[in-house]
Amino acid sequence: MIESSTAWIGLLAADAGGVQEGQRLVNIPHHELLVFWVQILALWAVARMLGALARRVGLPSVVGELSAGLMLGPSIFGVLWDDGFDWFLPGYVSGEVQGSLLLLGVSWFSAAFLLVVAGFETDLNLITRLGRPALLVTVGSVVVPFVGGLVVGAQLPQEFWGDAGDRLTVTLFIAVSVAVSALAVVAKVLSDLNLMRRDVGQITVAAGMANDLVGWIILGIISGLAVSGGFNIVGSGLTVLGLVAFLAGSLTIGQRVIDASLRAVRREGANLQGALTVSLAAMFVFGVITQWLGVEAVLGTFVAGVVLARSRYQQSEAAHVIEDLTSVVFAPLFFATAGLRVDLGLLRGNALTWTLILLAVALGLKFAGAFGGALAGGLSTREGLILGAGLNARGALEIIIATVALSLGVFNETAFTMIVIIPLITSLIASVGVRALAQNLEGSVAERERLAREAALAKNLVVRGGRILIPSEGSKSSIVASQVVHFAWPSDQGATVVAINDREGNAPDLEPITNTLFGRQTEFVEAADSEAAEALVAQSKLGYSVAAFGVPDQGGAVLSQLADDLLSELQIPMVLVRRARNTGNRLPGIFARALVPVTGSQSSRAALELAGNLSANLGTQLMLSHVIYQAPPAGAGGVGLVDRIRDAAIANSQDAAASVLANAAAQAQELRAGFEIETRFAPSVSDEIMRHANQIDADLIILGAEVRRLESRAFLGQNVQSVLDHAPQTVVVVVLPINE
């Protein structure tokens, strides 16, 4: 690839009149620039239009984007208007390469972005978590068609070889091209059919990820063989060792460097430009390393995407910008440029026969391997059929494999066309097949419960994906706070415990919190007492969804100075926990019954989210209570105007209370919580909350609050402050930040 790139530069220099002595940059003639911009405009515009049309009829956009290249290439445009095509793609007919160098450079640059996004979508944890079924489906869907591709490649006539091709490299490129799936296309098909979170969808995605990963590793090895001029034990061994070292280093040292860089750029909070800078730098550096190793740069950009997605300091907004830019600009340009190099006129006679053979191997053996792996993994026949159809979706990876083989001289234009036609047809068949097979698909009871839980979490304000921040000075309340969030938040969300040292610099005992968070990925950070607030605010800017903090359980001051400072400064939701009083050093064994006052506000809904997840995970029985303010009786003297006004107000309040409780009950049902509802009347809301909690023997009161400022101190509202100060039970307050 390095040699071919050098040749391209040399040809371009010659075409521009040569490089004068001392001249470092070549001037591109005005006409060539005009043609280049027309190429970009035409390819991008037609690709976007045909991609949108493909989506409207239920097909992956890659089908339309490849078709754009077919329309503007020799297959259609070149047949309909020779002169116009020769102006649009100069040198194509004569076989000269320099007329297309700028466009080819854009194509490779676009491929780099396409593969970064593919890396974003590759979840190594998902691949390993789905276990035996995913492993067997992956092995079957890769190995079976790969072996078939080896057989076909070994028989492929030399008329389809490129100038640098030999039997080994041609055979290997054919085998890997028919064996892979396209994760992006697979994910798009599943997403359109709402199957992404189904069990069969998760296994399909995991197998698609593994297909991509294996495909890229094999492509890297084959590219190294092709660059070294064939199989050489020393040269090939060094290439493989270099690739292995690169992959291992990327997931260890590279991961730490990227984590540190992403953390540094968001020290002051969200920093989109900084995150984009780190992401693009990683993409370019990894690409340079793999190109230097003799492997295609796009492999490096794929690994960069995987590492960036694994970093907990990555800002989702940066990934979304790159994904959107790729979807709108780079993917259409890459696929259209690939389609531009397809000449359907070459598929005649022997070429058409071998194309049909390759298509049959790609479709049939991929389906058979995935279906057999599914059955061996204990999946149903229908799930096996869906997997076989879904994993037949091909796209970017196969086209890139063909592009690499063509650029290295392993394939000629005819072989390239034969391979690129396959993803067009297989993606079409996969889309139609999965759509037909997945109609009215019912999952297991466990799957339906999981989907319901995920749907409820997706609507949440507070209990959602994201890391948990737990400051602790070693108090019992902070231990209870860790219990609450541990049982309420999804178990796959990590936690960071900030140890607040005392004034003498002594670290708190965090062993109880460590035990409480058992099974959850947890890290520990130290902060001095004198600068705890600043350290916690700085830590919170590194990407957290919630902070859980224990407040004093003695009478008097409701909030500590640290809690007050955090309420004023943090821009994320907080869970304040004050442990039960009169319990000595004992911690609650389990939260059996909780009172949840509901008011219909956003903060009340957030509190019910926490309570509902506790109930779903622990079996905590919830009492959803709405307290209506009722003034004391006016005294004797008959029913006067004041009494009638009061009765009318109570009637209106009862209607509002019924609506509030109905909405709360619907939310609790979505969260799979066990609950009861009740309306209460009282002249003091806070007193009634505490009286009600005592009557039902609640060991937990969960309230919602919005923080306000009162005389330079954080104020959570009179009712919340009173319950925190006087209730004997454990009290949990879910606080939405000021900016919400």
- What is the rounded average pLDDT of the residues 107-114? 84
- Report the C-alpha dihedral over residues 518, 522, 523, 528, rounded to 10 degrees: -70
Residue 196: both structure tokens together:
């992404």
Last residue of a domain, one of 437, 468, 488: 437
Same domain assignment for residues 219 and 253: yes
375 has a pLDDT exceeding 80: yes
Instruction: Work out the widest C-alpha separation in the chain, in whole angstroms.
Output: 112
Number of Cα atoms under 13 Å in the Cβ half of residue 374? 28
Same domain assignment for residues 426 and 470: no
Cα gap 149→171, rounded to integer Å: 7
CA 702 to chain centre: 32
Give the pLDDT of residue 281: 94
Give the pLDDT of residue 505: 75
Same domain assignment for residues 659 and 583: yes
What sign for the dihedral angle of Cα 65, 66, 67, 72?
Answer: positive
Q: Is residue 178 part of a domain?
A: yes
Same domain assignment for residues 431 and 462: no
Classify 387 as helix, strand or coil: helix
Residue 403's CATH number: 1.20.1530.20
Q: Is the separation of the CB atoms in 189 and 430 below 8 Å?
A: yes
Same domain assignment for residues 347 and 496: no
477: CB partners within 8 A, 6+ apart: 550, 551, 552, 553, 577, 578, 579
Same domain assignment for residues 396 and 481: no
- What is the rounded average pLDDT of the residues 272-286? 93
Same domain assignment for residues 196 and 306: yes
- What is the rounded average pLDDT of the residues 52-80? 84
Alpha helices, DSSP H, located in 671-716? 685-695
**Number of helices (H), then strands (E), in the chain:** 30, 12
Last residue of a domain, one of 437, 467, 487: 437
| Amino acid, res. 323 | E
Q: Is residue 144 part of a domain?
A: yes
331 has a pLDDT exceeding 90: no
Give the pLDDT of residue 556: 43
Cα gap 684→700, rounded to integer Å: 20
| Amino acid, res. 725 | D
Report DSSP state, residue 100: G
Counted residue by residue, the chain has a size of 740
Most confident option among 41-45, 59-63, 268-272, 442-446:
41-45
Cα gap 315→310, rounded to integer Å: 11
369 has a pLDDT exceeding 90: yes
Confidence of residue 79 (pLDDT cuts 50, 70, 90): confident
Give the pLDDT of residue 632: 63
Give the pLDDT of residue 180: 85
Question: Can you give the residue range of the structural domain that contains 395?
Answer: 109-437
Give the pLDDT of residue 58: 72
Give the pLDDT of residue 530: 59
Cα gap 211→219, rounded to integer Å: 12
Q: Which residues pair with 678 in a beta bridge?
A: 625
Please, what is the angle between helix 167-179 and helix 131-155, to 10°? 140
Residues of the chain with pLDDT > 70: what percent? Answer: 81
Report DSSP state, residue 348: S
Residue 523's CATH number: 3.40.50.12370
Q: Is the separation of the CB atoms in 220 and 289 below 8 Å?
A: no
Element (H, E) at 547: strand 546-550
Please, what is the angle between helix 413-437 and helix 350-376, to 10°? 40
Same domain assignment for residues 383 and 464: no
Q: Is the separation of the CB atoms in 470 and 513 below 8 Å?
A: yes
Q: Is the separation of the CB atoms in 738 and 705 below 8 Å?
A: no
Same domain assignment for residues 433 and 482: no
Residue 91: both structure tokens together:
């040198």
Least confident of 390-404, 459-473, 638-652: 638-652
- What is the rounded average pLDDT of the residues 488-499? 87
Give the pLDDT of residue 422: 87
Confidence of residue 737 (pLDDT cuts 50, 70, 90): confident
Q: What is the CA radius of gyration of the chain?
A: 32
Q: Is residue 450 part of a domain?
A: no
Residues of the chain with pLDDT > 90: what percent? Answer: 24
Give the pLDDT of residue 377: 86
Q: Which residues pair with 498 in a beta bridge?
A: 471, 525
- Kindly report the backbone phi and psi dihedral angles of residue 538, in degrees, each rounded to the nearest multiple of 5, phi listed first: -65, -40
Least confident of 36-45, 538-547, 650-659: 650-659
Give the pLDDT of residue 421: 86
Q: Is the separation of the CB atoms in 472 and 550 below 8 Å?
A: yes
Q: Is residue 215 part of a domain?
A: yes
Same domain assignment for residues 367 and 260: yes
Residue 307: both structure tokens together:
């590492």
Cα gap 692→277, rounded to integer Å: 55
Q: Is residue 210 part of a domain?
A: yes
Give the pLDDT of residue 308: 93
425: CB partners within 8 A, 6+ apart: 359, 363
Please give the residue that has the higher pLDDT: either 394 or 733.
733
CA 214 to chain centre: 20
Cα gap 399→341, rounded to integer Å: 11
3 has a pLDDT exceeding 50: no
Q: What is the mean pLDDT of the chain?
A: 81
Same domain assignment for residues 425 and 566: no
Same domain assignment for residues 241 and 151: yes
Cα gap 309→215, rounded to integer Å: 19
List pLDDT tens digits, range 174-223: 999 898 887 666 766 776 677 766 777 778 877 877 777 777 778 777 87
Residue 534: both structure tokens together:
């600043």
- What is the rounded average pLDDT of the residues 495-524? 85
Q: Is residue 91 part of a domain?
A: no
Q: Is residue 681 part of a domain?
A: yes
Q: Is residue 300 part of a domain?
A: yes
Count of domains for the chain:
2
- Kindly report the backbone phi and psi dihedral angles of residue 311, in degrees, each rounded to the nearest multiple of 5, phi listed first: -75, 130
- Helix, strand, coil tally for the chain in percent (to 5): 65, 10, 30
List pLDDT tens digits, range 406-430: 888 899 889 988 998 888 788 778 8
Q: Is the separation of the CB atoms in 424 and 457 below 8 Å?
A: no
Last residue of a domain, one of 407, 437, 467: 437
Give the pLDDT of residue 535: 78
341 has a pLDDT exceeding 80: no
658: CB partners within 8 A, 6+ apart: 679
